[in-house]
């Protein structure tokens, strides 16, 4: 079996039906090239519903603070509304989706990040379930809802969740974003970022807010699945560029590639 490609979906594309249709046309093309696993968040939808219900929602360093009282809303949006919508679209495009949460098959284990409430710090678990599914041509679609060892449901940052799934499967990773990749101060694409360059880019404000989480997730995955001889892909790229995603699926340069 060829190396799986883990794709994280999030941002504006999840709130735009036309954009999702466009994206799943690309996903269908990529699925013909290699095994895929999709991981998604749904922060905008969670935020909107919390506001409708009169709850306040805040972020720290690009990651949402989630009081335990918010978890029923988070779970309903991520594992229910968004996941079922993505599975329906995948089926519409001729794929065989299987909707899952992170704890399915012990794929991802979570510690509790008590500084952010009911938030999980994802850790690699078992790849057996996902491997079984992709070997039989199913498309796993995982929402970023985790569970602690004590059985507490936890909100997990989707970028970090996708990086952990990439670790579990020793796969390639693409973190999709609303822009073409990580940009410099002039708005130009940074084609390659190394682990040594990352701290300075964060310190000088080139990379900030949610993009910090994406870069850290990419670096986390790189430290596990890359080595000097590796040809694995770890990248941040725009969801709207089908050609770029196809190039990345083939191991060719596109977006911002993260290297050790």
* Span 129-181, pLDDT tens digits: 999 999 999 999 999 999 999 999 999 999 999 999 999 999 999 999 888 99
Per-residue model confidence as pLDDT tens digits over 78-136: 999 999 999 999 999 999 999 999 999 999 999 999 899 999 999 999 999 999 999 99
Strand ranges inside 157-218, DSSP E: 172-177, 192-194
Number of independent structural domains in the chain:
1
Q: Please check if 43 is assigned to a binding site.
A: yes
8 as an active site residue: the answer is yes
Rounded to whole angstroms, how far apart are CA atoms 187 and 199? Answer: 19
Which residues constitute the domain of residue 142?
5-258
Q: Please check if 155 is assigned to a binding site.
A: yes
Identify the active-site residue in 99, 171, 214, 255: 214
214 as an active site residue: the answer is yes
- What's the whole-model pTM score? 0.93
Identify the active-site residue in 10, 41, 43, 127: 43
Convert 215-248 to b/e letters by CB count within 10 Å (16 or more is b). Answer: bbbbbbbbebbbeeeeebbbbbbbbbbbebbebb
Q: Are 109 and 99 in contact (CB under 8 A)?
A: no
Q: Which residues pair with 108 in a beta bridge?
A: 124
11 as an active site residue: the answer is yes
Identify the active-site residue in 159, 171, 172, 210: 159
Report the CATH number that the domain containing residue 110 is assigned in CATH.
3.40.1160.10
What Cα–Cα distance (Å) separates residue 63 from each residue in 2, 58, 194, 228, 236?
33, 8, 23, 31, 18
């Amino acid at each position: 079996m060829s190396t799986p490609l883990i794709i994280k979906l999030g941002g504006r594309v999840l709130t735009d039906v036309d954009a999702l249709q466009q994206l799943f046309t690309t996903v269908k093309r990529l699925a013909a090239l290699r095994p895929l696993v999709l991981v998604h968040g749904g922060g905008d939808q969670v935020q909107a519903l919390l506001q409708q219900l009169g709850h306040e929602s805040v972020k720290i360093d690009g990651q949402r603070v989630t009081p335990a009282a918010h978890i029923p809303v988070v779970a309903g949006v991520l594992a229910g509304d968004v996941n079922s919508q993505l599975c329906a679209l995948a089926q519409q495009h001729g794929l065989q989706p299987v909707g899952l949460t992170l704890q399915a098959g012990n794929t991802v284990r979570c510690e509790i990040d008590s500084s952010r409430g009911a938030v999980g710090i994802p850790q690699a678990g078992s790849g057996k379930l996902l491997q079984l599914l992709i070997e039989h041509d199913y498309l796993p679609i995982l929402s970023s809802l985790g569970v602690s060892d004590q059985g507490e449901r936890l909100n997990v940052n989707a970028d970090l969740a996708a990086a952990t799934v990439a670790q579990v499967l020793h796969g390639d990773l693409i973190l999709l974003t609303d822009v073409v990749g990580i940009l410099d101060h002039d708005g130009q694409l940074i084609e390659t970022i190394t682990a040594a360059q990352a701290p300075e880019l964060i310190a000088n404000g080139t990379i900030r807010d949610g993009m910090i989480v994406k870069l850290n997730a990419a670096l986390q995955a790189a430290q596990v699945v890359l080595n000097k001889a590796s040809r694995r892909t770890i990248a941040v790229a725009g969801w709207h560029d089908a050609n770029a995603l196809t190039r990345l699926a083939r191991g060719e340069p596109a977006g911002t590639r993260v290297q050790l």
